Structure 1
Amino acid sequence: MGKLIVRGLVSGFLIGLLDAIAAVGHAYYFSKVGPSGVFQYIASGWFGNEAFASNDLIGFGVLFHFLIATIWTNLFFVLYKKFSIVRKRILISGIVYGFLLWSSMSFFVIPLSNAPILPFPLIPTIAMIGIHILIGLAIAFVSSKTVESREYIHR
């Protein structure tokens, strides 16, 4: 069980790192917002506008980001293990999961949080969907390597 938890945490961290790099790059390219602004926005999901008042809550934004990435990654692990269609159609599953991830965060999680709702300009939105599809594919790849391991299957 200990190896399983470590694999889930490491996988979530790796996916979170990829997503953080992509999010920071996207924010800078389209809005000239640096890393601190990205993580302040994430922290604002919990703290509201207080997160933008100073840099004091950036660490919470980083923590929340990696927590969310770990949850999404491990949820796919469960789906991968439970449903044979996910294992048989890993490429399609990753693409669909990435789109589901983007739409769930954009239309449910963020609106239900304390974060300000941002506009959806066409080109940046298409880029963000593409990023999430790539993240979904990365999650699918990591899942296929992690869940197929002997330690995971025999649990």
Structure 2
Amino acid sequence: MEKNDYKEQPGKYTIIAWVGLLTGTLDAVAAILSAHKMPVVTVFKFIASGIFGKAAFAGGFEMVAAGIFFHYLIACSITAVLFVLYPMFISFLKSKYVVAVVFALIAWVITHLVIVPLSRIGWSHMDIGGTAISIGILIITIGLPIALIADRYFVSKK
């Protein structure tokens, strides 16, 4: 009997889903750690307040769950788009690490200049130091995981 060592690679959508969960989790952990001793539930109620406004802070578990849902929805959506666009970015940037930085910048623009201003949270003042820290976090939690895993996926498909 011959041993078959061949393992089928997971499909693109499966990988995107797992990478979305990874980036969402990494970003959530970073948000919790950088929330300056704010309770975890408050971090997710803040996210829920983007849809529900100040009522989110008076809510209970349902608002925490809504915040978690919205956080992962945004993270998975950004991940899916950037993962699919990876071949285009790598073709002209030539370095998966440069792509990771560009992906982090795109994620920052989408969240801070589009989603947050359109939400019930509204526009908030940004200082250069806070922005740099935020982008640095996104490089680690969003850009690098997407770029490194997408690179491995697309290289294996050649």
Q: TM-score, normalised by structure 1?
A: 0.82
Consecutive unaligned residues of structure 2, counting only runs of 5 or more, are 1-9
2:67 to 45, 61, 67: 61
2:3 corresponds in structure 1 to none
Measure, in 2, the Cα distance between the counterparts of 1:79 and 1:126: 24
Indicate the larger mover: 92-101 or 137-146.
137-146
Structure 1 counterpart of 2:106, one-letter code:
L
CA deviation profile, 1:92-129 (whole Å, cap 9, x unmatched): 11101102211221111100011244443454333212
SS at match of 2:54: helix
1:16–1:129 Cα change, 3 Å: same
2:99 corresponds in structure 1 to 93
Structure 2 counterpart of 1:60, one-letter code:
A
1:145–1:3 Cα change, 3 Å: same
Measure, in 1, the Cα distance between the counterparts of 2:71 and 2:21: 10
Measure, in 2, the Cα distance between the counterparts of 1:104 and 1:142: 21
Identity across aligned pairs (percent)?
35
State whether structure 2 residue 129 is matched by structure 1 residue 141: no
Measure, in 2, the Cα distance between the counterparts of 1:93 and 1:105: 18
Are the counterparts in 2 of residues 48 and 116 from structure 1 also a CA contact under 8 Å? no
Larger Rg: 2
Give the paired residue count: 146
Higher helix share: 1
Are the counterparts in 1 of residues 19 and 145 from structure 2 also a CA contact under 8 Å? no
2:51 corresponds in structure 1 to 46
State whether structure 2 residue 76 is matched by structure 1 residue 70: yes
Deviation at 1:51, TM superposition (A): 1.0
State whether structure 2 residue 38 is matched by structure 1 residue 33: yes
Measure, in 2, the Cα distance between the counterparts of 1:121 and 1:82: 32
Output the aligned Cα RMSD.
2.0
Measure, in 2, the Cα distance between the counterparts of 1:63 and 1:149: 32
1:18 corresponds in structure 2 to 26
State whether structure 2 residue 132 is matched by structure 1 residue 126: yes
State whether structure 2 residue 114 is matched by structure 1 residue 111: no
Structure 2 counterpart of 1:35, one-letter code:
V
Measure, in 2, the Cα distance between the counterparts of 1:119 and 1:35: 23
Deviation at 1:58, TM superposition (A): 0.8
